[in-house]
Amino acid sequence: MKRQQAQMQQGAQQQQQQQAQAQQQKEMEASILQQILDPQAFERLQRLKLVKGDKVQRVIDNLVGRAKSGQLREQISDAALVEILGDAGASERAVTVTSMRKRNAFDEDEEEADDY
């Protein structure tokens, strides 16, 4: 019984640590984004994150990674962010597949079917 309680307490502590780490990660991410994005771009990104969370999160991860590695030399404007988001959306667009069916010798034409 005491052993189960100890295990439950450890599990709760680990969960709290993970939540604290996730919160710290989000705060660090937001701080970096505020540094690399101009205010309008930051606002746009936050609004889009509410609607298209997964797509925007991939863009954020990309931007934060580039900022950490020193690849970004200047602040990203709203127009530049729109372009980045557009590029991310273009790569996700669904590919349409059309299938062509060969006519069979036994298929009837619509015109012939109407004659009966």
| Confidence at residue 91, expressed as pLDDT on a 0 to 100 scale | 63
User: Distance (Å, rounded) from C-alpha 79 to C-alpha 30?
Assistant: 20
Task: Report yes or no on whether pTM surpasses 0.75.
Answer: no
> Is 15 contained in some domain?
yes
**CATH code at 85?**
1.10.8.140
Q: Which has the higher per-residue pLDDT, 48 or 2?
A: 48
> Is 109 contained in some domain?
no
Domain of residue 43, residue span: 2-96
> Is 33 contained in some domain?
yes
Number of domains present in the structure of the chain: 1
Q: Which has the higher per-residue pLDDT, 7 or 47?
A: 47
52 by Cβ neighbours in 10 Å (0-12 / 13-18 / 19+) ranks as middle
> Is 105 contained in some domain?
no
Mean pLDDT score of the chain: 82
